[in-house]
């Protein structure tokens, strides 16, 4: 994993100092210590992000754009300043950042505004077998309407993409490719650079679902070469319900609006309306200004720690955690790909994931259980659900030991 080109020197890594910045980590759960290992679902927020959101509402809040009074100007400056900051993160122009409610809305925007008008009967949309439902269902909806088809590339037994199988599915009917950067269920890091190169050779546009990568892997959008990249602030130490679509300007300029309302228009009459330029054409209605400010603060925070430092720490925990889990009888890890992010997904012979998760909770261990919005992937592995422990920069060895100890207790209780 590469370090971001931040220009900042990461501070020396002091895990206790990092943890101290996350007030929720000292919260008692079930009367005891919290081991928060549900970071792939959502991360916790540092003081600086909380302060940025609080500060926005205390000192800057008004509605954005068309500002004539001081507070409206402050709100607009904060909101558009956040766009500049987020654009810098991805090395793109500010016009290439569309604010959305998160990854789900960003993918839907591309499905409806970019792909739908181009899709013809018989066309194919190529996905992989490890996609999140939000990177499956929007494509299915537009495909069903247009008589097109969604095709999914196979996943190998270790959870890696079957790249040859994926390549074999590329053909003249392939109109669009969407792929998850890092699998939320398995942690698999997909070879997106290779996939984009293969797609480009055939002139096929590519969307990368970066929901699980943005807080772990540096993404330079032009260098990546994708047409679209989507992310959610809440998985990167930022607020919930906010995210963005990063897109090539030429695409956004050519895309019709998909939500109608205030801010997305240039002129409106009862006979006809005309549209604002991108990205505003895609941001109808009063936006989530505090969300934008919070996301920008979250990226500042990640940069101050250093994405390379974060990735190294998480990798170390992944290695240690995997070793601890390997000692637990009857535990089977699902997803052991060589290139893997900070997710440990597993099943146990003693019982259903749901029961194990419920017992873990009694010992203060927060994990996610279920299909993780990847039902086709669960079917591929022949399991209804897994227990998923997922890591963030503030996790420590104690969290892993708390998980392992609770799993041993769960094994005894369910045996």
Count of positions on this chain that bind ligand PMP (CB under 6 A) = 13
Q: Does 103 bind ligand PMP (CB under 6 A)?
A: yes
Q: Does 232 bind ligand PMP (CB under 6 A)?
A: yes
Annotated catalytic residue 244: no
Q: Does 411 bind ligand PMP (CB under 6 A)?
A: no
Rounded least distance, CB 192 to ligand PMP, Å: 13
The residue range among 1-9, 74-82, 98-106, 352-360 that interacts with ligand PMP, by the rule CB under 6 A, is 98-106
Q: Does 39 bind ligand PMP (CB under 6 A)?
A: no
Q: Does 180 bind ligand PMP (CB under 6 A)?
A: yes
Rounded least distance, CB 6 to ligand PMP, Å: 24
Q: Does 364 bind ligand PMP (CB under 6 A)?
A: no
Smaller CB distance to ligand PMP: residue 85 or 216? 216
Rounded to whole angstroms, how far apart are CA atoms 280 and 231?
18
Q: Does 128 bind ligand PMP (CB under 6 A)?
A: no
Smaller CB distance to ligand PMP: residue 152 or 211? 211
Smaller CB distance to ligand PMP: residue 370 or 384? 370
Of 198, 373, 383, 408, which is the active-site residue?
A: 373
Active-site positions read: 373
Q: Which residues bind ligand PMP (CB under 6 A)?
A: 102-104, 132, 134-135, 180, 184, 209, 211-212, 232, 373
């Amino acid at each position: 994993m590469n370090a971001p080109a931040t220009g900042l020197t990461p501070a020396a890594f002091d895990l206790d100092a990092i943890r101290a910045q996350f007030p929720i980590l000292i919260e008692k759960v079930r009367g005891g210590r919290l081991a928060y290992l549900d970071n792939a679902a959502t991360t916790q927020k540092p003081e600086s992000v909380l302060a940025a959101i609080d500060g926005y509402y205390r000192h800057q809040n008004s509605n954005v754009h068309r500002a004539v009074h001081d507070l409206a100007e402050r709100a607009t400056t904060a909101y558009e300043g956040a766009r500049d900051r987020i654009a810098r993160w991805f090395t793109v122009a500010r016009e290439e950042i569309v604010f959305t409610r998160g990854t789900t809305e960003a993918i839907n925007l591309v499905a409806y505004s970019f792909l739908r008008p181009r899709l013809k009967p018989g066309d194919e949309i190529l996905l992989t077998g490890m996609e999140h439902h939000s990177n499956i269902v929007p494509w299915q909806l537009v495909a069903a309407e247009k008589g097109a088809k969604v095709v999914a590339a196979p996943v190998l037994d270790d959870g890696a993409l079957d790249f040859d199988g994926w390549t074999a599915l590329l053909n003249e009917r392939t109109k669009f490719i969407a792929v998850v950067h890092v699998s939320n269920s398995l942690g698999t890091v997909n070879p997106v650079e290779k996939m984009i190169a293969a797609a480009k050779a055939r002139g096929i546009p590519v969307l990368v679902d970066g929901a699980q990568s943005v807080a772990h892997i540096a993404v330079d959008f032009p260098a990546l070469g994708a047409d679209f990249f989507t992310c959610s602030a809440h998985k990167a130490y930022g607020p919930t319900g906010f995210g963005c679509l990063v897109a090539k300007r030429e695409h956004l300029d050519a895309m019709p609006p998909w939500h109608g309302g205030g801010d997305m228009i240039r002129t409106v009459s009862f006979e006809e309306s005309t549209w604002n330029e991108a990205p505003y054409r895609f941001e109808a209605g009063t936006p989530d200004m505090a969300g934008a400010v919070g996301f920008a603060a979250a990226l500042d925070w990640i940069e101050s720690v250093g994405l390379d430092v974060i990735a190294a720490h998480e990798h170390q925990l992944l290695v240690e955690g995997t070793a601890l889990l390997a000692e637990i009888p009857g535990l089977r890890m699902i997803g052991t790909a060589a290139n893997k992010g900070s997710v440990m997904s597993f099943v146990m012979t003693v019982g259903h994931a749901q029961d194990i998760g419920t017992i873990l909770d009694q010992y203060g261990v927060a994990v996610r259980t279920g299909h993780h919005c990847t039902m086709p992937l669960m079917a591929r592995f022949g399991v209804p659900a897994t227990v998923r422990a997922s890591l963030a920069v503030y996790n420590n060895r104690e969290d892993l030991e708390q998980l392992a100890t609770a799993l041993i207790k769960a094994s005894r209780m369910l045996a």
